[in-house]
Structure 1
Protein backbone atom coordinates (compact mmCIF):
# COMPACT_ATOMS: atom_id res chain seq x y z
CA UNK A 1 0.00 0.00 0.00
CA UNK A 2 1.43 3.43 -0.93
CA UNK A 3 2.61 5.59 1.96
CA UNK A 4 0.17 8.44 1.17
CA UNK A 5 -2.76 6.02 1.43
CA UNK A 6 -1.47 4.81 4.81
CA UNK A 7 -1.14 8.41 6.03
CA UNK A 8 -4.64 9.20 4.83
CA UNK A 9 -6.00 6.19 6.72
CA UNK A 10 -4.21 7.28 9.88
CA UNK A 11 -5.62 10.78 9.45
CA UNK A 12 -9.14 9.41 9.26
CA UNK A 13 -8.63 7.53 12.53
CA UNK A 14 -7.47 10.72 14.26
CA UNK A 15 -10.39 12.12 16.22
CA UNK A 16 -10.50 15.56 17.80
CA UNK A 17 -13.44 14.29 19.85
CA UNK A 18 -11.21 11.65 21.51
CA UNK A 19 -8.30 14.07 21.96
CA UNK A 20 -10.58 16.58 23.68
CA UNK A 21 -12.17 13.87 25.82
CA UNK A 22 -8.86 12.56 27.15
CA UNK A 23 -7.45 16.06 27.63
CA UNK A 24 -10.40 17.02 29.84
CA UNK A 25 -10.33 13.64 31.58
CA UNK A 26 -6.63 13.97 32.50
CA UNK A 27 -7.23 17.57 33.61
CA UNK A 28 -10.06 16.49 35.93
CA UNK A 29 -8.04 13.57 37.33
CA UNK A 30 -5.16 15.94 38.11
CA UNK A 31 -7.61 18.41 39.68
CA UNK A 32 -9.10 15.60 41.77
CA UNK A 33 -5.66 14.76 43.22
CA UNK A 34 -4.95 18.46 43.78
CA UNK A 35 -8.30 18.92 45.57
CA UNK A 36 -7.85 15.84 47.74
CA UNK A 37 -4.42 16.99 48.92
CA UNK A 38 -5.78 20.43 49.78
CA UNK A 39 -8.82 19.04 51.59
CA UNK A 40 -6.26 17.70 54.07
CA UNK A 41 -3.97 20.75 54.16
CA UNK A 42 -6.31 23.74 53.76
CA UNK A 43 -7.60 25.74 56.76
CA UNK A 44 -11.18 25.04 57.85
CA UNK A 45 -12.02 28.39 59.51
CA UNK A 46 -14.74 30.74 58.26
CA UNK A 47 -12.16 33.37 57.29
CA UNK A 48 -8.57 32.60 56.36
CA UNK A 49 -5.57 34.56 57.57
CA UNK A 50 -4.31 35.09 54.05
CA UNK A 51 -6.44 37.11 51.66
CA UNK A 52 -8.09 35.03 48.90
CA UNK A 53 -6.83 31.76 50.43
CA UNK A 54 -9.30 28.97 49.81
CA UNK A 55 -11.07 27.17 52.64
CA UNK A 56 -11.28 23.40 53.14
CA UNK A 57 -14.95 23.55 52.09
CA UNK A 58 -13.86 25.10 48.77
CA UNK A 59 -11.62 22.12 48.09
CA UNK A 60 -14.34 19.68 49.19
CA UNK A 61 -16.64 21.28 46.61
CA UNK A 62 -13.86 21.15 44.03
CA UNK A 63 -13.26 17.47 44.80
CA UNK A 64 -16.94 16.54 44.52
CA UNK A 65 -17.32 18.43 41.24
CA UNK A 66 -14.21 16.83 39.73
CA UNK A 67 -15.28 13.30 40.69
CA UNK A 68 -18.78 13.89 39.37
CA UNK A 69 -17.34 15.37 36.18
CA UNK A 70 -15.19 12.28 35.59
CA UNK A 71 -18.20 10.00 36.08
CA UNK A 72 -20.49 12.13 33.89
CA UNK A 73 -17.93 12.17 31.08
CA UNK A 74 -18.55 8.46 30.51
CA UNK A 75 -22.36 8.77 30.45
CA UNK A 76 -22.67 9.24 26.65
CA UNK A 77 -20.64 6.08 25.91
CA UNK A 78 -22.59 4.14 28.55
CA UNK A 79 -25.88 5.27 27.02
CA UNK A 80 -24.67 4.29 23.56
CA UNK A 81 -23.74 0.80 24.75
CA UNK A 82 -26.71 0.06 27.00
CA UNK A 83 -29.54 1.69 25.06
CA UNK A 84 -28.07 1.37 21.55
CA UNK A 85 -28.31 5.14 21.06
CA UNK A 86 -25.88 7.15 18.95
CA UNK A 87 -24.68 10.45 20.43
CA UNK A 88 -23.43 12.76 17.63
CA UNK A 89 -19.78 13.78 17.83
CA UNK A 90 -20.66 17.50 17.77
CA UNK A 91 -23.03 17.08 20.74
CA UNK A 92 -20.40 15.07 22.62
CA UNK A 93 -17.75 17.74 22.01
CA UNK A 94 -20.03 20.50 23.32
CA UNK A 95 -20.83 18.34 26.35
CA UNK A 96 -17.14 17.81 27.19
CA UNK A 97 -16.33 21.50 26.64
CA UNK A 98 -19.18 22.42 28.99
CA UNK A 99 -17.81 20.12 31.72
CA UNK A 100 -14.34 21.64 31.29
CA UNK A 101 -15.70 25.18 31.49
CA UNK A 102 -17.99 24.47 34.45
CA UNK A 103 -15.72 22.27 36.58
CA UNK A 104 -12.09 23.00 35.76
CA UNK A 105 -12.33 26.64 34.73
CA UNK A 106 -15.30 27.47 36.95
CA UNK A 107 -14.38 25.71 40.21
CA UNK A 108 -10.68 24.84 40.03
CA UNK A 109 -9.56 28.06 38.34
CA UNK A 110 -12.23 30.17 40.12
CA UNK A 111 -13.73 31.64 36.93
CA UNK A 112 -17.08 31.84 38.74
CA UNK A 113 -15.55 34.59 40.88
CA UNK A 114 -12.92 36.03 38.53
CA UNK A 115 -14.88 36.24 35.24
CA UNK A 116 -18.07 38.33 35.30
CA UNK A 117 -21.23 36.40 34.36
CA UNK A 118 -19.34 33.11 33.85
CA UNK A 119 -22.10 31.19 35.66
CA UNK A 120 -24.78 32.99 33.64
CA UNK A 121 -23.17 32.06 30.33
CA UNK A 122 -22.87 28.41 31.35
CA UNK A 123 -26.49 28.22 32.53
CA UNK A 124 -27.71 29.75 29.28
CA UNK A 125 -25.60 27.29 27.30
CA UNK A 126 -26.80 24.31 29.35
CA UNK A 127 -30.44 25.38 28.93
CA UNK A 128 -29.98 25.42 25.16
CA UNK A 129 -28.23 22.02 25.15
CA UNK A 130 -30.84 20.35 27.34
CA UNK A 131 -33.55 21.84 25.14
CA UNK A 132 -31.88 20.18 22.14
CA UNK A 133 -31.81 16.92 24.09
CA UNK A 134 -35.55 17.30 24.69
CA UNK A 135 -36.08 17.46 20.92
CA UNK A 136 -34.05 14.26 20.55
CA UNK A 137 -36.18 12.43 23.11
CA UNK A 138 -39.38 13.28 21.26
CA UNK A 139 -37.81 12.32 17.95
CA UNK A 140 -36.83 8.92 19.38
CA UNK A 141 -40.47 8.38 20.34
CA UNK A 142 -41.67 9.48 16.92
CA UNK A 143 -39.26 7.07 15.23
CA UNK A 144 -40.20 4.15 17.46
CA UNK A 145 -42.05 1.21 15.92
CA UNK A 146 -43.82 0.42 19.21
CA UNK A 147 -45.01 3.93 20.02
CA UNK A 148 -47.21 5.08 17.16
CA UNK A 149 -47.41 8.84 17.59
CA UNK A 150 -46.94 11.85 15.39
CA UNK A 151 -46.46 14.95 17.48
CA UNK A 152 -46.93 18.47 16.18
CA UNK A 153 -43.98 20.92 16.01
CA UNK A 154 -45.64 23.08 18.69
CA UNK A 155 -45.90 20.17 21.14
CA UNK A 156 -42.30 19.13 20.49
CA UNK A 157 -41.08 22.69 21.11
CA UNK A 158 -43.14 23.02 24.32
CA UNK A 159 -41.87 19.64 25.56
CA UNK A 160 -38.24 20.57 24.87
CA UNK A 161 -38.66 23.88 26.70
CA UNK A 162 -40.40 22.23 29.69
CA UNK A 163 -37.83 19.43 29.81
CA UNK A 164 -34.94 21.91 29.99
CA UNK A 165 -36.69 23.92 32.73
CA UNK A 166 -37.35 20.77 34.76
CA UNK A 167 -33.69 19.71 34.57
CA UNK A 168 -32.61 23.25 35.52
CA UNK A 169 -34.90 23.19 38.58
CA UNK A 170 -33.64 19.74 39.64
CA UNK A 171 -30.07 21.01 39.34
CA UNK A 172 -30.82 23.91 41.69
CA UNK A 173 -32.38 21.46 44.17
CA UNK A 174 -29.25 19.31 43.95
CA UNK A 175 -26.98 22.33 44.58
CA UNK A 176 -29.13 23.55 47.48
CA UNK A 177 -29.17 20.09 49.08
CA UNK A 178 -25.38 19.65 48.91
CA UNK A 179 -24.83 23.17 50.23
CA UNK A 180 -27.04 22.39 53.23
CA UNK A 181 -25.65 18.92 53.91
CA UNK A 182 -21.94 19.63 53.45
CA UNK A 183 -21.69 23.39 53.97
CA UNK A 184 -20.59 24.02 50.38
CA UNK A 185 -21.19 26.96 48.06
CA UNK A 186 -22.52 25.35 44.89
CA UNK A 187 -25.27 27.93 44.51
CA UNK A 188 -22.71 30.70 44.96
CA UNK A 189 -24.78 32.22 47.76
CA UNK A 190 -21.53 33.31 49.44
CA UNK A 191 -18.61 35.41 48.24
CA UNK A 192 -15.19 33.89 47.50
CA UNK A 193 -13.93 34.61 51.04
CA UNK A 194 -16.88 32.69 52.54
CA UNK A 195 -18.98 35.71 53.52
CA UNK A 196 -22.64 34.78 52.91
CA UNK A 197 -24.81 36.96 50.72
CA UNK A 198 -27.83 38.50 52.40
CA UNK A 199 -31.52 38.72 51.53
CA UNK A 200 -32.51 39.21 47.92
CA UNK A 201 -28.88 39.07 46.73
CA UNK A 202 -28.69 35.35 47.58
CA UNK A 203 -32.12 34.68 46.08
CA UNK A 204 -31.31 36.68 42.95
CA UNK A 205 -28.46 34.35 41.98
CA UNK A 206 -30.69 31.26 41.97
CA UNK A 207 -33.49 33.05 40.14
CA UNK A 208 -31.03 34.38 37.57
CA UNK A 209 -29.83 30.83 36.91
CA UNK A 210 -33.40 29.63 36.34
CA UNK A 211 -34.23 32.60 34.13
CA UNK A 212 -31.21 32.15 31.84
CA UNK A 213 -31.90 28.39 31.75
CA UNK A 214 -35.34 29.32 30.44
CA UNK A 215 -33.94 31.78 27.89
CA UNK A 216 -31.46 29.23 26.54
CA UNK A 217 -34.20 26.59 26.32
CA UNK A 218 -36.56 29.08 24.67
CA UNK A 219 -34.00 29.92 21.98
CA UNK A 220 -33.52 26.23 21.19
CA UNK A 221 -37.27 25.59 21.24
CA UNK A 222 -37.98 28.40 18.77
CA UNK A 223 -35.19 27.24 16.44
CA UNK A 224 -36.39 23.67 16.78
CA UNK A 225 -39.98 24.61 16.00
CA UNK A 226 -38.95 26.45 12.83
CA UNK A 227 -36.61 23.58 11.88
CA UNK A 228 -39.36 20.94 12.21
CA UNK A 229 -42.15 23.08 10.77
CA UNK A 230 -40.23 24.06 7.65
CA UNK A 231 -37.89 21.02 7.50
CA UNK A 232 -34.69 23.07 7.91
CA UNK A 233 -32.70 20.35 9.71
CA UNK A 234 -31.02 22.85 12.03
CA UNK A 235 -30.84 20.48 15.02
CA UNK A 236 -29.57 17.39 13.22
CA UNK A 237 -26.07 17.74 14.70
CA UNK A 238 -27.62 17.64 18.20
CA UNK A 239 -30.01 14.73 17.72
CA UNK A 240 -29.29 11.47 19.50
CA UNK A 241 -30.54 8.55 17.42
CA UNK A 242 -31.18 4.85 17.82
CA UNK A 243 -28.58 2.61 16.28
CA UNK A 244 -31.34 0.15 15.51
CA UNK A 245 -34.85 1.13 14.54
CA UNK A 246 -36.48 -1.43 16.83
CA UNK A 247 -37.43 -0.80 20.44
Structure 2
Protein backbone atom coordinates (compact mmCIF):
# COMPACT_ATOMS: atom_id res chain seq x y z
CA UNK A 1 0.00 0.00 0.00
CA UNK A 2 1.43 3.39 -1.00
CA UNK A 3 1.87 6.16 1.54
CA UNK A 4 -0.75 8.28 -0.20
CA UNK A 5 -3.38 5.53 -0.13
CA UNK A 6 -2.55 4.83 3.54
CA UNK A 7 -3.08 8.51 4.43
CA UNK A 8 -6.38 8.66 2.56
CA UNK A 9 -7.62 5.47 4.20
CA UNK A 10 -6.57 6.71 7.66
CA UNK A 11 -8.47 9.98 7.23
CA UNK A 12 -11.59 8.20 6.00
CA UNK A 13 -11.49 5.71 8.89
CA UNK A 14 -11.03 8.56 11.39
CA UNK A 15 -14.08 10.36 10.01
CA UNK A 16 -16.14 7.16 10.03
CA UNK A 17 -15.22 6.44 13.67
CA UNK A 18 -16.04 10.04 14.59
CA UNK A 19 -19.56 9.59 13.22
CA UNK A 20 -20.04 6.33 15.12
CA UNK A 21 -18.85 7.77 18.44
CA UNK A 22 -20.96 10.91 17.95
CA UNK A 23 -24.07 8.85 17.13
CA UNK A 24 -23.61 6.67 20.23
CA UNK A 25 -23.08 9.73 22.44
CA UNK A 26 -26.15 11.51 21.04
CA UNK A 27 -28.30 8.39 21.38
CA UNK A 28 -27.35 8.10 25.06
CA UNK A 29 -27.88 11.72 26.12
CA UNK A 30 -30.89 12.55 23.98
CA UNK A 31 -33.31 11.39 26.71
CA UNK A 32 -31.78 13.82 29.22
CA UNK A 33 -32.11 16.91 27.02
CA UNK A 34 -35.04 19.29 27.70
CA UNK A 35 -37.81 19.45 25.13
CA UNK A 36 -37.99 23.25 25.35
CA UNK A 37 -35.44 25.75 26.64
CA UNK A 38 -37.30 28.74 28.02
CA UNK A 39 -34.20 30.93 27.95
CA UNK A 40 -33.32 29.90 24.38
CA UNK A 41 -29.66 29.66 25.38
CA UNK A 42 -29.07 25.94 24.96
CA UNK A 43 -29.85 23.15 22.56
CA UNK A 44 -33.11 21.29 22.97
CA UNK A 45 -34.22 17.75 22.10
CA UNK A 46 -35.04 18.66 18.48
CA UNK A 47 -31.46 19.85 17.93
CA UNK A 48 -30.06 16.56 19.18
CA UNK A 49 -32.51 14.60 17.04
CA UNK A 50 -31.17 16.42 13.97
CA UNK A 51 -27.58 15.71 14.98
CA UNK A 52 -28.31 12.02 15.55
CA UNK A 53 -30.08 11.70 12.19
CA UNK A 54 -27.22 13.42 10.40
CA UNK A 55 -24.59 11.21 12.02
CA UNK A 56 -26.55 8.09 11.03
CA UNK A 57 -26.81 9.42 7.47
CA UNK A 58 -23.08 10.09 7.50
CA UNK A 59 -22.35 6.50 8.54
CA UNK A 60 -24.61 5.14 5.79
CA UNK A 61 -23.13 7.50 3.20
CA UNK A 62 -19.57 6.40 3.99
CA UNK A 63 -20.50 2.74 3.63
CA UNK A 64 -21.90 3.26 0.12
CA UNK A 65 -18.50 3.18 -1.70
CA UNK A 66 -17.69 -0.12 0.03
CA UNK A 67 -21.04 -1.59 -1.03
CA UNK A 68 -20.51 -0.41 -4.60
CA UNK A 69 -17.13 -2.13 -4.73
CA UNK A 70 -18.15 -5.42 -3.11
CA UNK A 71 -21.61 -5.88 -4.60
CA UNK A 72 -21.33 -4.32 -8.06
CA UNK A 73 -17.52 -4.22 -8.47
CA UNK A 74 -17.54 -0.45 -8.98
CA UNK A 75 -14.28 1.15 -7.89
CA UNK A 76 -14.45 4.76 -6.68
CA UNK A 77 -11.13 6.64 -7.03
CA UNK A 78 -9.43 7.23 -3.63
CA UNK A 79 -9.22 11.00 -4.14
CA UNK A 80 -12.95 11.16 -4.77
CA UNK A 81 -13.63 9.16 -1.60
CA UNK A 82 -11.37 11.52 0.37
CA UNK A 83 -13.18 14.63 -0.85
CA UNK A 84 -16.51 12.90 -0.20
CA UNK A 85 -15.52 11.99 3.38
CA UNK A 86 -14.13 15.45 4.20
CA UNK A 87 -17.31 17.05 2.90
CA UNK A 88 -19.44 14.81 5.13
CA UNK A 89 -17.21 15.64 8.10
CA UNK A 90 -17.56 19.39 7.48
CA UNK A 91 -21.32 19.17 6.90
CA UNK A 92 -22.30 16.76 9.68
CA UNK A 93 -19.71 16.74 12.45
CA UNK A 94 -18.43 20.32 12.21
CA UNK A 95 -21.68 21.79 10.91
CA UNK A 96 -24.25 20.10 13.14
CA UNK A 97 -22.44 18.56 16.11
CA UNK A 98 -19.92 21.38 16.59
CA UNK A 99 -22.42 24.11 15.57
CA UNK A 100 -20.34 25.59 12.74
CA UNK A 101 -23.61 26.39 10.96
CA UNK A 102 -24.25 28.95 13.72
CA UNK A 103 -20.67 29.92 14.60
CA UNK A 104 -19.07 30.34 11.17
CA UNK A 105 -20.76 32.83 8.81
CA UNK A 106 -22.02 31.31 5.53
CA UNK A 107 -20.79 27.82 6.49
CA UNK A 108 -24.10 26.36 5.30
CA UNK A 109 -24.03 28.24 1.99
CA UNK A 110 -20.44 27.27 1.23
CA UNK A 111 -21.27 23.60 1.84
CA UNK A 112 -24.39 23.75 -0.33
CA UNK A 113 -22.30 25.27 -3.12
CA UNK A 114 -19.78 22.46 -2.74
CA UNK A 115 -22.52 19.83 -2.59
CA UNK A 116 -23.90 21.02 -5.93
CA UNK A 117 -20.39 20.83 -7.38
CA UNK A 118 -19.82 17.35 -5.93
CA UNK A 119 -23.14 16.01 -7.19
CA UNK A 120 -22.33 17.30 -10.67
CA UNK A 121 -18.84 15.74 -10.53
CA UNK A 122 -20.30 12.41 -9.39
CA UNK A 123 -22.87 12.44 -12.16
CA UNK A 124 -20.22 13.35 -14.72
CA UNK A 125 -18.03 10.48 -13.55
CA UNK A 126 -20.88 7.98 -13.79
CA UNK A 127 -22.18 8.99 -17.21
CA UNK A 128 -18.73 9.28 -18.82
CA UNK A 129 -17.88 5.82 -17.49
CA UNK A 130 -21.09 4.34 -18.89
CA UNK A 131 -20.62 6.26 -22.12
CA UNK A 132 -17.57 4.20 -23.00
CA UNK A 133 -17.90 1.84 -25.95
CA UNK A 134 -17.76 -1.36 -23.89
CA UNK A 135 -20.90 -0.35 -21.96
CA UNK A 136 -23.07 1.26 -24.64
CA UNK A 137 -23.34 1.68 -28.38
CA UNK A 138 -24.34 5.33 -28.01
CA UNK A 139 -21.82 8.16 -27.92
CA UNK A 140 -23.17 11.12 -25.99
CA UNK A 141 -21.83 14.54 -26.86
CA UNK A 142 -20.03 16.66 -24.21
CA UNK A 143 -22.97 19.08 -23.99
CA UNK A 144 -25.43 16.25 -23.25
CA UNK A 145 -23.14 14.90 -20.54
CA UNK A 146 -22.79 18.38 -18.99
CA UNK A 147 -26.54 19.04 -19.05
CA UNK A 148 -27.24 15.66 -17.48
CA UNK A 149 -24.66 16.29 -14.74
CA UNK A 150 -26.20 19.68 -13.98
CA UNK A 151 -29.77 18.34 -13.88
CA UNK A 152 -28.75 15.36 -11.77
CA UNK A 153 -27.07 17.65 -9.22
CA UNK A 154 -30.12 19.93 -9.04
CA UNK A 155 -32.38 16.92 -8.52
CA UNK A 156 -30.29 15.75 -5.55
CA UNK A 157 -30.30 19.26 -4.08
CA UNK A 158 -34.11 19.32 -4.31
CA UNK A 159 -34.37 15.86 -2.73
CA UNK A 160 -32.23 17.10 0.17
CA UNK A 161 -34.57 20.05 0.74
CA UNK A 162 -37.52 17.62 0.66
CA UNK A 163 -35.73 15.57 3.32
CA UNK A 164 -35.27 18.68 5.47
CA UNK A 165 -38.93 19.66 5.04
CA UNK A 166 -40.13 16.14 5.88
CA UNK A 167 -37.91 15.95 8.96
CA UNK A 168 -39.15 19.33 10.19
CA UNK A 169 -42.75 18.29 9.60
CA UNK A 170 -42.52 14.95 11.40
CA UNK A 171 -40.01 15.64 14.17
CA UNK A 172 -40.78 19.36 14.68
CA UNK A 173 -37.16 20.34 14.01
CA UNK A 174 -35.90 23.51 12.32
CA UNK A 175 -33.59 22.29 9.56
CA UNK A 176 -35.09 24.69 7.02
CA UNK A 177 -34.66 27.63 9.41
CA UNK A 178 -38.32 28.66 9.24
CA UNK A 179 -38.08 29.89 12.83
CA UNK A 180 -35.65 32.06 14.78
CA UNK A 181 -33.54 30.71 17.64
CA UNK A 182 -36.10 32.08 20.10
CA UNK A 183 -38.90 30.07 18.52
CA UNK A 184 -40.58 32.90 16.60
CA UNK A 185 -41.96 31.63 13.29
CA UNK A 186 -40.93 33.47 10.13
CA UNK A 187 -43.49 34.29 7.44
CA UNK A 188 -43.51 34.91 3.70
CA UNK A 189 -40.16 35.17 1.91
CA UNK A 190 -38.33 35.21 5.23
CA UNK A 191 -39.47 31.64 5.90
CA UNK A 192 -38.43 30.55 2.37
CA UNK A 193 -35.11 32.38 2.36
CA UNK A 194 -32.89 29.58 3.70
CA UNK A 195 -34.34 26.94 1.38
CA UNK A 196 -34.14 29.11 -1.73
CA UNK A 197 -30.62 30.29 -0.96
CA UNK A 198 -29.53 26.66 -0.54
CA UNK A 199 -31.02 25.75 -3.92
CA UNK A 200 -29.50 28.79 -5.64
CA UNK A 201 -25.93 28.30 -4.39
CA UNK A 202 -26.18 24.55 -5.01
CA UNK A 203 -27.24 25.27 -8.59
CA UNK A 204 -24.32 27.66 -9.06
CA UNK A 205 -21.86 25.05 -7.81
CA UNK A 206 -23.34 22.45 -10.17
CA UNK A 207 -23.27 24.89 -13.10
CA UNK A 208 -19.61 25.81 -12.58
CA UNK A 209 -18.45 22.19 -12.39
CA UNK A 210 -20.64 21.17 -15.34
CA UNK A 211 -19.07 23.91 -17.47
CA UNK A 212 -15.55 22.92 -16.42
CA UNK A 213 -16.18 19.29 -17.22
CA UNK A 214 -17.85 20.19 -20.53
CA UNK A 215 -14.76 22.10 -21.65
CA UNK A 216 -12.46 19.35 -20.37
CA UNK A 217 -14.42 16.60 -22.12
CA UNK A 218 -14.75 18.55 -25.35
CA UNK A 219 -10.99 19.09 -25.55
CA UNK A 220 -10.19 15.59 -24.22
CA UNK A 221 -8.15 16.49 -21.15
CA UNK A 222 -6.43 13.41 -19.73
CA UNK A 223 -7.02 14.33 -16.07
CA UNK A 224 -10.71 13.39 -16.48
CA UNK A 225 -9.79 9.71 -16.41
CA UNK A 226 -8.48 10.07 -12.85
CA UNK A 227 -11.93 10.87 -11.40
CA UNK A 228 -13.95 8.30 -13.34
CA UNK A 229 -15.44 5.24 -11.72
CA UNK A 230 -14.04 1.91 -12.78
CA UNK A 231 -16.22 -1.16 -13.30
CA UNK A 232 -14.31 -4.38 -12.83
CA UNK A 233 -15.20 -7.04 -15.36
CA UNK A 234 -15.77 -10.67 -14.25
- The TM-score with structure 1 as length reference comes to 0.88
Provide the residue aligned with 1:29 in structure 2. 20
Provide the residue aligned with 2:155 in structure 1. 166
| Structure 1 segment 105-184 matched on structure 2, within 5 A | 105-143=94-132, 145-184=134-173
The answer to whether 1:86 aligns with 2:75 is yes
Q: Distance in 2 between matches of 1:235 and 1:61?
A: 37
In the alignment, is the contact (CA less than 8 A) between 1:123 and 1:212 conserved in 2?
yes
Unaligned runs of 5+ in 2: none
Q: Distance in 2 between matches of 1:61 and 1:146?
A: 41
RMSD of aligned residue pairs (Cα, Å): 1.9
Q: Distance in 2 between matches of 1:241 and 1:202?
A: 43
Q: Distance in 2 between matches of 1:106 and 1:78?
A: 26
Q: Distance in 2 between matches of 1:103 and 1:184?
A: 16
Q: Distance in 1 between matches of 2:155 and 2:184?
A: 30
Q: 1:50 to 1:29 in 2, by over 3 A?
A: farther
Where 2:134 maps in the other structure, the secondary structure is coil
The answer to whether 1:104 aligns with 2:93 is yes
The answer to whether 1:44 aligns with 2:32 is no
The answer to whether 1:203 aligns with 2:201 is no
Unaligned runs of 5+ in 1: 1-8
Provide the residue aligned with 2:9 in structure 1. 18
Larger Rg: 1
Deviation at 1:197, TM superposition (A): 3.0
In the alignment, is the contact (CA less than 8 A) between 1:28 and 1:70 conserved in 2?
yes
Q: Distance in 2 between matches of 1:227 and 1:146?
A: 22
